Structures are given as C-alpha cells and as structure tokens.
Amino acid sequence: MVEVPVATGWKGKDFIGLAGWSPEEVEAFLHLAKQLKANKREWVTKAPLLGKSLGMIFDKPSTRTRVSFEVGMVQLGGYALNLNRQELQLGRGETIEDTAKVLSRYVDAILIRTHSHSLVTELAEAATIPVINGLTEREHPCQALADILTLAEHKGELNGKKCCYVGDGNNVLHSLMHIAALTGMHLSISTPKGYEPSPAIWQEAESIAQATGATLSFSYDPAQAAKGADAVYTDVWASMGQEEEKAERTQAFAGYQVDQALMAQAKPDAIFLHCLPAYRGLEVSAEVIDGPQSVVFDQAENRLHAQKALLLGLLES
C-alpha cells in the first residue's frame, strides 16, 4: 500500500529555483520520489492528480523535460498540454502577463522551458497558479532534483559526500550548487578560465552551505577537483543557443574531458553523471559514459520520478 505523502512545504508555490528551498523540503522530496518510484502501479491506480492539468510552454527543444512531465502527469491521473509558443498568441505578441492570467483560468500549473530567466519570473508574478522552471539560461532545478535522487540511490546518505563537476559553469551547475549545499555535500568545481559559475549563484549556495555544513571549492585543474570524489559530473560544452561558439568552446575546454584518467582521480566506486544529451569524444569519452561507473540512464529515468514528486507536492489537494 502507498503511504500518504509527507508534507512537502512547497504545495501551491512556484518552483523557479532551489535557493528558496530548505533541507527539510529536499528530504521530503526524496522521500516522496523514492516512494513514487518503488510503488509506481499503486500510484497509477490511486490517481492523486485526477482532473488536474499542466500547461507546458516550450521555447527550447526537449526530450527528458517534456516526456517526464507529460508522462508523469498521466501516471498521476492528470493531463498535460504541450503549448508551443508559435501556436499560442505569445507568438503574435500577446504579453507574458496576459498569457499567465488566461492560463491560470484553465490549468492548474504551468511549466515553461525558455531562454530568459526573467521571463519565468514575470510569468510567475502574473500567474495565480504554480509556475515550474523547466530550464532557463540561469538554472535547471528540475534536473537537480533527478541528480540528487540518483546520488541518494547510489551513494546513500549525502551529507559529507563529494561530488565533482567538470566543464561549463552553466545552468546545470548552478542548480547542482544549490542542491549540493542543501544536502550538506562537498561540491568541487573545475571550469576553464572565463567559464566559471555565476558569482551570484556561488554566493547563494555558500549562504545555504553555512547552515548545512556543505562546502564549495573551485580549481582550474580538473584532476585536482576530482580527487577523492564519490561522483563526477559533466555537461555539454556548448548548450542550446551557443552553437556558434562550438569551435571556440571546444578549444577552450581541451583538457576538461571526463575520461578514464580523470575518473581514476576519484574514488574507485565513484559514479559518473551527465544530464544528457552527451557528445562522446568531447565532454566525456565513450569508455566512461558507456562504462560500468556510468549511471546516466538511471539519472535520465529519475527525471520522471523527480517530476512526479514535484507535481504531487505542488498540486495534490
């Protein structure tokens, strides 16, 4: 039998980023996500979100975000609508504020995956229903929820564990910084010069870490950053919208590939993480991502269970 969900603390709220969460909310999320994953069939039968709907606005291509939210809503008894900007009046100049007010009359929550973080905050300010950040250039908090679920499954208690991130100081890293700080992890970061994470995000994460005992460290030497790590994480060197920078970035990131030599700096039982899509031979070697230490497809699957936990916490009556 499934249990009654623990109090999440984020019911009815927006999910724009993780900086506003507490360690207790992360614990509640992990409890709920693990329960949903372990008892999938019972939750489908229970259908706790029956009659609830999610409007999904995609300004960027998506595989994992779209499928995990759409399938997640269906498995919880709800319904998801894919709303392409060009199919909405947004594509003809309707304001984001008017769109937010209209959608608030139709659906129970809005997911948006877009370029500008300020667009998400504007949408949330005007909407009277929860708004979920499905990715912006600043943060990718939904990915971080799947990351922490994967780490907890493979490494158990997270407090005191070391995760190393090598690569671009991008939105994925920013949300990883927040969630690592919230769970008391030690996050070591290595990027090339000029590609460091946002100082504002660093300050937010350090502020959280003061209360949890987490630490953040930085080195331009990826081998130094990976020493003794329980997990090694990377992402693409050129994200969506940066395609014209690919040649420049490939040159700048030379030496930052996660290969077997770099994994050897971590603990023997270290796991490899990547949010996908991945480019073998660039940010990661094929022998690492397709090797025994890789848990990238567990991580991808966990997008579904993480999104279901988030949706249930936000929307259950």
Binding site feature residues for carbamoyl phosphate:
62-65, 89, 113, 140-143, 275-276, 303
Catalytic residue among 108, 174, 235, 257: 235
Distance CA 14, CA 9 (A): 11
Active site (annotated) includes residue 275 = yes
Of the residues 59, 113, 138, 174, only one is catalytic, namely 113
Q: Which residues are annotated as a binding site?
A: 62-65, 89, 113, 140-143, 171, 235, 239-240, 275-276, 303
Q: Is 303 an active-site residue?
A: yes
Q: Which of 178, 274, 303, 305 is catalytic?
A: 303
Q: Among 35, 143, 257, 307, which one carries the catalytic annotation?
A: 143
Catalytic residue among 35, 108, 140, 163: 140
CA–CA gap between residue 83 and residue 76 (Å, rounded): 20
Q: List binding-site positions for L-ornithine.
A: 171, 235, 239-240
Q: Is 235 labeled as catalytic in the residue annotation?
A: yes
Structure tokens belonging to residue 148:
């922490």
Closest CA to 169 of 140, 190, 141: 190
Q: Is 164 a catalytic residue?
A: no
Is 274 a catalytic site residue?
no
139-57-308-159 Cα dihedral, nearest 10 degrees: 0
Per the annotation, the verdict on 117 as an active-site residue is: no
Please provide the DSSP assignment of the chain as one string: -PPPPPP-S-TT--BS-STT--HHHHHHHHHHHHHHHHTHHHHHHH-TTTT-EEEEEESS--SHHHHHHHHHHHHTT-EEEEEEGGGSGGGGT--HHHHHHHHHHH-SEEEEE-S-HHHHHHHHHH-SS-EEEEE-SS--HHHHHHHHHHHHHHHS--TT-EEEEES--SHHHHHHHHHHHHTT-EEEEE--TT-PPPHHHHHHHHHHHHHHT-EEEE-S-HHHHHTT-SEEEE--SS-TT-GGGHHHHHHHTTT--B-HHHHTTS-TT-EEEE-S---BTTTB-HHHHTSTTB-HHHHHHHHHHHHHHHHHHHH--
Catalytic residues: 113, 140, 143, 235, 275, 303
